[in-house]
Amino acid sequence: MISALEIPFIDVSARELTFRPDAPSMPVLDQLDRDAGKLRLSLRLLGASHQAVVATPDGLVAETLAYRGDLSPDLPEAFSRRAGTWRHRFTSRTERLAVPELRDRVRGLRARGGEPDLLIGVFGDRPDALTALEVTGTAPLTWRTVHTYPQYGEVVTTTGSVEHLG
């Protein structure tokens, strides 16, 4: 699904993003919810940012990637933590692309906008700026996000997962 965002695109770069596994719930513009066995995933579109919240039998597991002026930037390549009998993993990759490559990536994502496990937030004032949230697997529960920052030619791709250690 494609969600037109009625907010301005914030002019940030990947180096200004902050990852937090413990951030409180933030204002949500749109979301994609899925059940996967004992787990319930809520992928939340926060504009150029995202929040993933997984309800497990042992409690909530969350990850937030956002520009936060009140916190120091921190975008790890990898993060892992245990939450009860569950393991949360997060990875990120930042790519610098030439304008034609970035536009091809954006067009490819937009072309998939009708897929049921994909939510794409697009900014009306910046056609190459988007945030895509996608459920990619259920065993283990896995999701992927793509954030584009066209003014810097950057694409940030993250992958998150929660699996039972049992």
Model confidence pLDDT, tens digit, residues 17-72: 999 998 888 899 999 999 999 999 999 999 889 999 999 999 999 999 999 888 88
Beginning with the edge strand found earlier in the chain, give each strand of the sheet holding 59-67 in spatial order: 17-20, 59-67, 50-56, 39-45, 30-36
Predicted confidence at residue 85, as pLDDT, reads 96
Helix, strand, coil distribution of the chain in percent, nearest 5: 10, 55, 30
Q: What is the pLDDT of residues 3-14, one digit of tens each?
A: 988 888 877 899
Predicted confidence at residue 43, as pLDDT, reads 98
Distance separating alpha carbons of residues 46 and 31, to the nearest angstrom: 9
29: nearest Cα among 120, 151, 107: 120
Predicted confidence at residue 8, as pLDDT, reads 81
Predicted confidence at residue 24, as pLDDT, reads 87
Predicted confidence at residue 64, as pLDDT, reads 96
Q: Which has more pLDDT, 10 or 137?
A: 137
CB neighbour class for 46 (10 Å; exposed up to 12, middle 13-18, buried from 19): buried
The torsion angle over the Cα atoms of residues 80, 76, 109 and 62, rounded to 10 degrees, is 40
Predicted confidence at residue 127, as pLDDT, reads 85
Q: What is the mean pLDDT of residues 125-133?
A: 92
> Both tokens of residue 113?
């906008």
CB-side neighbour CA atoms (13 Å) of 129: 22
Predicted structure pTM score? 0.94
Predicted confidence at residue 46, as pLDDT, reads 93
